[in-house]
Structure formats: structure tokens, C-alpha cells
Structure 1
Amino acid sequence: MALTKSRLPGLRLSQYPRLSIQLMAIGLVITLAFILAALFAPLLQSWGWLQNPTEGLANPIHQPPSAEHWFGTSRQGYDVFSRTLFGSQAALQVVVLATLLSLVIGVPLGMVSGYLGGRLDRVLLFLMDTIYTLPGLLLSVTLAFVVGRGVWNAAIALSIAYVPQYYRVVRNHTVSVKTELFIEAARSMGASTWRVLTRYLFLNVIQSVPVLFTLNAADAVLVLGGLGFLGLGLPEETPEWGRDLQQALDALPTGIWWTALFPGLALTLLVVGLSLVGEGLNELIDPRSRQE
């Protein structure tokens, strides 16, 4: 019946400011470039076009950018260009896993909590609010000490900090939607709780989830960089922008700028790209943003 349809607004690009569409397109291009780098870096290495990012060179000492080493080499003899490309692979793996884990946990909890209410809702709300009040980096650092290094471990440490955000957004939407006429009609016709949640509520309460996903992904890139900088992210042999930045600190006072510039620039660009995509999605999905 008509009342069961999602209340998501129609997405006609002509309705939105051209600048917003352009910025979102720029964000998509930047993000896609890092995705392609992550996908094709191993293939380029197998063809001999990239150095092994975990093996030093025969002449390792801080070679500046050149035709042979586009981004120069580090103190350990690593090719910075290769480390930067492979760093995008590690970053995207952890970030995608972390945001998916937090989404898969937070969205169902928010729907069940908001729909059922009662003691379960109060307990979950208290728990999520408690986690939400903790700084994300501090919480991730603490969890990283507990779970240790590794892609999955870093993803788990990051995801715990984002679960409350999905929970709060979805719960608030569920509380407002569950009093709608089509929900009441479904219940009066004998629809089970599971059927109401999956068929009638789900599409109506996930409007902000894509925006939250991309913005959390941008934040997760920064937090992962912080963990790597502190030596708590991925194993030492894994190319990681945060660790490369930490190892480049000692060389900066001596004028060795390239070992810090390129990993830092890659991290910044990926954050900017994901943030632009998130803000663009927000304008496409939220009608109120068009009225401001």
C-alpha cells in the first residue's frame, strides 16, 4: 500500500546548488583515485613498476624525489611513492571494515531500541551515551592496547567509537516513524515485530546512514593515522601513513621534507575527499539543507 513507501526525497540534481554538486564530484574523484591506488598497487609491483614497500633499497639514505624515485626514499631505504600507494590499501581496508562493523551493529540496535522502548531502550541509550561521551581517538587507543595490532583489530578498535552514532541517529528516526499511520496499520493487521522492522521501518529510518558512513570513514582515516603515529595501528611491516609520518619526524629538522610530505598529503586528501562526498550526500538526502 502507498503508506509503506519510503519517505526518501526524490534525487533530482537540478534542485541542488551547482557548487554542492561540483564539490561532491571532486570528493568522488579523490576517493576513487585512492580506491584505484589500493586496488592496483600490488599489480604494479608485480609488473616491476613499483618497489617493494617493505624492503629497503641498496642505496637507502634519504634520496630526494627524482625520476627514479618520484617521492624520494626514506631513512630506512623505502621508496616513499610505493609506501604511499600501499598505504592507501591499508587505510581503506581498515576504514571500510570499521565503518561496516559499526553500521551493522548500530543500525539494528537503534531500530530495536527505538521501536520496543522500555527498559531495553533505557539501558542501551545509557550505554551508547556513555561511549559517545568518550573522545574517539582516546577510546580507539585504549582498545588498540587491548586487542593488539592488525587490520581486523584496528577495525574493531575504531568501530566501537562509531556504533553510538548510528544507534542514536537510527533510534531517533525510529521513535518518530513508529507512530506513523502505516506502522499502526501494519500492526493492526497482525504484522510481527520483525516484519514491521524490516519491511516498514528500515527504509524510512536509514536516510542519514549514507552521510554518516562517509563522514565516519573520513574520521576513521584520521584516527587510524593517529594510531599508526603512536605505533598502535597495523604491524610494523605494513605500509601505513601514520607510522611513516612518525618515522619522518627526526628527518624534518635536517631538511628531509619529502618523507613526511607525501604520506601526510595522502592522508589529508583522502579525508577531504570522503568529507566532500558526505557533505554532498547530506544535501541530496536532507531537504532542509536546500532551504538554508
Structure 2
Amino acid sequence: MTSTKLKLRLPRFLRFSGRPSLSMQLMAVGVVITLFFVLVAILAPTFESWGWLQDPTESLSNPILEPPGARYWFGTSRQGYDVFSRTLFGSQAALQVVILATSLSLIIGVPLGLVSGYLGGKLDRVLLFLMDTIYTLPGLLLSVTLAFVVGRGVLNAAIALSISYVPQYYRVVRNHTASVKSELFIEAAQAMGASTKRVLSRYLFFNVIQSVPVLFTLNAADAILILGGLGFLGLGLPEETAEWGHDLRQALDALPTGIWWTALFPGLGMTLMVVGLSLVGEGLSELINSREHR
């Protein structure tokens, strides 16, 4: 009898000759951390419906300030909340806002960069001036200002965050487009009568978005910190929402009295999620750079 061996073939850009570099190993750690928080955000409502988690927006029936223990794993807060439940649901709020914010900025910034870099002229100068102006403003300050204007809520917080990231996508895509549009294959497509829309969508788009995944993950990590800052300042999401920044603000007054757990666990959640996304972004950056130099 003959036996057959099944071989798993990885995509070419994921194949390594020899041992993966330290950045690739750290990227794998980042992927695990990020996926963990994604699973927590998805499964938290299910666990609550099964009675495994307390409602993060309601005080306990007998609110007692307790340290972490067998009854309440992460302890309880002065407001009578289960810290474990609010920490888990905090990942859901963070992911909702961050995915919306980074997606909105990508959807706006990439097309503007393509059109601006390809067409040039007055449109390019106006957009470049506008994006450079936005880019010079600190992200947190701009988000705080916009949060006052648009108000609270998941979508409003995402809009407030996304504005500061649009120039980053615009600048990267615009610069790549301006350099690639003089290549022979673009000139050949133009000579054959390809429309501007066809050139942008078929010939330019996939050649200028290599850095977009890196930007997406790094902006997501930054957005978590800014969202936490908005929550700490009492902006962003509604007061009753389980959100790490808001919980840190509530825990601030309790720290001098030795109640450390109400700040520790939301802070750890925010830190780990930022570290995970940052490691993924750095790993993707090295992966893309290594492919370009092959």
C-alpha cells in the first residue's frame, strides 16, 4: 500500500527561509493577543446571556466593595460594578469604535490619495495643504474638539477619531501614486485609451496600498489610546457604557485609599490590546519591506 502525505503550502509572502526573525515571532504574539480580545468582544454578550457575566451597566444587587477573589475575579468598584465584566465588555467598545474609525479614515484617505497623486495640479495642491494642516494638529486635541461637536456615541466617537487618521492614508497613497504613475505599464494603459477610473482601480490601486495594512493596525493601536483619553475626560461614549478610559477615570479617586484593582484591570486591558496591535503592525512592516527588497 502506498501512503500519501498532505503538505500544507503557505502563501508565498508567509514563507520563511530558515528561522523566522524576532519581529515575525513578536508579530505572532501580537496576532494571538489581538485575536484573544476579538474573541472576548464577540463572546462577552453570549456569556452574559448564559449568566456567566454580570450586566456591565447595572450595579450588583448588594453592591459591596470587594477586592479580587473567588466570588468576583477582578473585584468590584465603588459604583457596585463587577470589574471583570466591565473589563471584558470594554474590549467590545474599543473594537467597535476602533474598527469604525480606522475603516472610515481608510475609505476617505485612500481614494483621495489616489486621485490627488494621479491627477496632480490644483486639486493636488489644495488637498495636500488641507491634509498637512490636519496632520499638524495633535490627534487627541483634534478628537476632543470634534467630540464636543458631534457628541457621544460609538459612531460619533469613530468620526471624531477618524479625521486625524485620514491624512496618513492620503499622504502614503498619494506619494506612491505620484511615483508609480510614470511607470511604463501606466503609460501603456493610457496609450491604449484606458479611462482614468480604470487606471486608478486596475493598475494603480493594488500597486500603492502595500503600506495600508501597516497603517491600519498602528492607527488602531493609537485609536485605542485616544478613545481611552476621551473616556477619561468624560467624552466619547455614554457614561453607562463599559469603556476602559471611563472606568479609569472612575477609579482615579479610589487609588489613594488602596483600591487598586478598579484601575489595574481596565488599564491592563488597554495596554495589552495596544501592544498586540503594535506588534502586528511592526511585523507587517518588516514583512512588506522584505518582500520589496527580494
Give the TM interval when normalised to the shorter protein.
Answer: over 0.9
Q: Deviations over 1:143-162 (max 9, x none)?
A: 00000000000000000000
Which residue pairs with 1:276 in the alignment?
Answer: 279
Q: How does 1:198-237 map to 2 (within 5 A)?
A: 198-237=201-240
Q: Cα offset for 1:287?
A: 2.7
Distance in 1 between the 2:21 and 2:87 partners? 33
Which residue pairs with 2:47 in the alignment?
Answer: 44
Does residue 172 of structure 1 match 2:175?
yes
Q: How does 1:114-125 map to 2 (within 5 A)?
A: 114-125=117-128
Aligned-partner SS, 2:75: coil
Q: Aligned letter for 1:217?
A: A
Q: 1:15 to 1:171 in 2, by over 3 A?
A: farther
1:283 touches 1:289 (CA, 8 Å); kept in 2?
no
Distance in 2 between the 1:130 and 1:30 partners? 35
Does residue 132 of structure 1 match 2:135?
yes
1:110 touches 1:168 (CA, 8 Å); kept in 2?
yes
The alignment's TM-score, normalised by the length of structure 1, stands at 0.94
Distance in 2 between the 1:158 and 1:253 partners? 32
Distance in 2 between the 1:195 and 1:86 partners? 44
Q: Cα offset for 1:57?
A: 1.1
Q: Cα offset for 1:14?
A: 2.8
Which residue pairs with 2:290 in the alignment?
Answer: 287
Which residue pairs with 1:62 in the alignment?
Answer: 65
Identity percentage of aligned residues: 81
Aligned-partner SS, 1:287: helix
Q: Cα offset for 1:289?
A: 9.3
Does residue 81 of structure 1 match 2:74?
no
Distance in 2 between the 1:148 and 1:130 partners? 23
Q: Aligned letter for 1:105?
A: I
Q: Deviations over 1:165-210 (max 9, x none)?
A: 0000000000010000000000000000000000000000000000
Match of 1:147 among 150, 171, 176: 150
Distance in 2 between the 1:11 and 1:64 partners? 45
- RMSD of Structure 2 on Structure 1 (CA): 1.5
Q: Cα offset for 1:290?
A: 7.8
Q: Cα offset for 1:16?
A: 7.4
Distance in 1 between the 2:291 and 2:149 partners? 42
Match of 1:106 among 102, 106, 109: 109
Q: 1:21 to 1:107 in 2, by over 3 A?
A: same
Which residue pairs with 1:259 in the alignment?
Answer: 262
Does residue 243 of structure 1 match 2:253?
no
Q: Cα offset for 1:10?
A: 4.2
Structure 2 gap segments, 5+ residues each? 1-11
1:147 touches 1:157 (CA, 8 Å); kept in 2?
yes
1:11 touches 1:285 (CA, 8 Å); kept in 2?
no
Q: Aligned letter for 1:174?
A: T
Distance in 1 between the 2:79 and 2:204 partners? 55
The aligned length equals 283
Q: Aligned letter for 1:257?
A: W
Which residue pairs with 1:21 in the alignment?
Answer: 24
Q: 1:203 to 1:236 in 2, by over 3 A?
A: same
